[in-house]
């Protein structure tokens, strides 16, 4: 019975990240490029997504809706998110780069956010050391 239930859940699941990467090659390549530009910030953003996927989705939605705003403006409405505040304090430019990625690849970013913890999962592919550190 559990096996049947598992198969039903898999069938109802949204497309896998592999499919996302195939359908959004430019966005996937741009995200990988952003990761390479600041691996420390990417690692922290991916870890934040693993703990707070709903907040990551809110950040992406905000970035798309507010194309000309700095991430500081987003933070003013979310002062009760201490992990985001730490990210912002240390990695503001990288967060603005991530927001720019979401704005440039809005459809891909929105679709990616339909997968909870999708950034964390992509981070495990793009930053293998992050996966090793997390499993310890």
Q: Quote the tokens at residue 56.
A: 């990551």
Q: Is residue 30 part of a domain?
A: no
pLDDT at 33: 96
How far, CA to CA in Å, does 96 sit from each of 1, 18, 51, 85?
A: 47, 26, 21, 14
State how many domains the chain has.
1
Q: Is residue 3 part of a domain?
A: no
Q: Is residue 37 part of a domain?
A: no
The model's pLDDT over 64-78, given as tens digits with 9 standing for 90+, comes to 999 999 999 999 999
Please compute, for residue 131, the number of CA atoms within 13 A of its CA located in the half-sphere on the CB side.
10
Confidence of residue 17 (pLDDT cuts 50, 70, 90): confident
User: Rounded CA gap, 45 and 1, in Å?
Assistant: 38
- Select from 136, 131, 97, 118 the least CA-distant residue to 52: 118
* Bigger pLDDT: 4 vs 94: 94
Domain range for residue 98? 43-136
Phi-psi region of 77 (alpha: psi -120 to 50; beta: other; left: phi over 0): alpha
Q: At what angle do helices 25-37 and 39-51 cross, to 10 degrees?
A: 120
The model's pLDDT over 29-64, given as tens digits with 9 standing for 90+, comes to 999 999 999 999 999 999 999 999 999 999 999 999
pTM given for the model: 0.82
Q: Is residue 26 part of a domain?
A: no
- 9, pLDDT greater than 90: no
The model's pLDDT over 79-90, given as tens digits with 9 standing for 90+, comes to 999 999 999 999
Q: Is residue 95 part of a domain?
A: yes
Q: Is residue 28 part of a domain?
A: no
Q: Is residue 71 part of a domain?
A: yes
Q: Is residue 92 part of a domain?
A: yes
For residues 9 and 17, the answer to whether their CB atoms sit within 8 Å is: no
């Amino acid at each position: 019975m559990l096996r049947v239930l598992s198969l039903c859940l898999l069938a109802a699941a949204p497309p896998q990240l592999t499919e996302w990467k195939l359908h959004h090659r430019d966005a996937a390549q741009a995200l990988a490029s952003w990761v390479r530009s600041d691996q420390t910030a990417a690692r922290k953003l991916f870890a934040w997504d693993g703990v707070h996927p709903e907040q990551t989705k809110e950040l992406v939605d905000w970035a798309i809706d507010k194309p000309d705003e700095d991430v500081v403006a987003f933070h003013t409405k979310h002062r009760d998110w201490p992990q985001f505040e730490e990210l912002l304090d240390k990695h503001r430019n990288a967060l603005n780069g991530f927001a720019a990625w979401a704005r440039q690849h809005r459809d891909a970013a929105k679709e990616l956010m339909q997968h909870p913890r999708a950034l964390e999962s992509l981070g495990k592919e793009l930053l293998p050391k992050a996966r090793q550190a997390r499993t310890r």
